[in-house]
Amino acid sequence: MSDVKKVVLAYSGGLDTSIILKWLQTTYGCEVVPFTADLGQGEELEPARKKAELLGCKEIFVEDLREEFVRDFVFPMFRANALYEGIYLLGTSIARPLIAKRQIEIARQTGADAVCHGATGKGNDQVRFELSYYALDPNIKVIAPWREWSFKSRSDLIDFAEKHQIPVPKDKRGEAPFSVDANLLHSSSEGKVLEDPWSEPPEYVFQRTVSPEDAPDLATTVEIGFERGDAVSIDGQRLSPAELLTKLNEMGKANGIGRLDMVENRFVGMKSRGIYETPGGTILHAAHRAIESITLDRGAAHLKDELMPRYAELIYYGFWFSPEREMLQALIDKSQEHVEGVVRLKLYKGNVIVTGRQSDKSLYSETLVTFEDDAGAYDQKDAQGFIKLNALRLRTLASRNRRSGA
């Protein structure tokens, strides 16, 4: 890797990636192109540009990718109702392929021959970044500092920063109580005080939601409109994808919605405990399932549910740009052609309660399900033959077992 000439670094502007930037310059003697993506993490990003300039970078990219993130990554995933291990809405996982995609695009634009990320060698993110890099450019060189450098402790990193005149804020000198990753879909917290899965997380860990106990005593009612499986409006007002998710985040935060305490199975083989907050996504997930309940045929709905764990696993493992994910996406998107209408929900102390759903494409028939006179729409006597045919194999098995004394 000594022949690296220019590298595109996924750069947050924080202490760790600033150290990585300087380490790349001193270790590889290469030009570094920092790339900072605004995915809705809620931080001011222009300071990252200024810090990169102070570190001698000439080409610097700071980009607002919030709309692309929600439109092209979050919404396609939500069409699938994707949940990893049944509960995790994949907020960190879905952000990595977009960052990696832009790194590769910037590398082509600037003539860089390598890309670099700041993920550690113990986590999932290193896999997600690098699988995406190689899927988009099979010949790209990848630098993963946490797997290469000789630093053994936080104090080693601080010493390196001070030696190279990288400012170290006072709150960064000690060990952080836990690590945080955030974007418009969620925030995740893990490590340190959260590592014991028996210990309840302290309230200061939560950043995106009020405690359900402190949420208002009066429910918030909201109506979400859908077209082709994507949310397009809130209470009749059309919004862009990022605007809509931002609004749902605000509603979810105020009502204590979207907290998750999870022990998950990482792709690299270990279990980890994470605290996730996905306020708007939790509301959106419930609403999408509700509109599907009246617009999707049973066979299509059940097939989607069977495929969902595989789809979610592909995203969690980092295979967003794999052919199998794209194949599943085509099937999922086909299923969403008539998923449109409005869902009404109540948000109350951590709960998302569906109270109504309607659609011009609804398959729900009051005539068929009514206990009153259905004017001949359904002949209940037909059920006898239906049941007997479905029971035929069971009766055959029972007869055999009786003969054999089983």
- Catalytic annotation on 125? yes
Catalytic residue among 18, 79, 93, 125: 125
CB 247 within 8 A of CB 260: no
16 tagged catalytic: yes
DSSP state of 219: P
Rounded distance between C-alpha atoms, residue 208 and residue 137, angstroms: 36
- The 3-class SS string of 59-71 reads CCEEEECHHHHHH
Identify each DSSP E strand in 147-268 by its residue range. Answer: 179-182, 187-190, 220-227, 230-234, 237-238, 259-265
| 96 in catalytic set | yes
Asked if residue 14 lies in contact with residue 171, where contact means CB atoms within 8 angstroms, the answer is no
Choosing from 71, 72, 113, 179, the catalytic residue is: 179
Kindly report the length of the chain: 406
Annotated active-site residue 150? The verdict is no
Catalytic residue (choose from 16, 181, 261, 374): 16
β-bridge partners, 352: 347
Closest CA to 377 of 389, 387, 385, 369: 369
Strand partners, 8: 33, 115
Query: DSSP class of residue 310?
Result: H
Task: Quote the DSSP letter at residue 202.
Answer: P
Residue in 66, 79, 96, 102 annotated catalytic: 96
Q: For residue 277, list its beta bridge partners.
A: 187, 259
Residue showing tokens 């990848």: 142
Q: Write the CB contacts of 235 (distance below 8 Å, at least 6 apart in sequence).
A: 222, 223
Active centre residues (catalytic): 16, 96, 125, 179
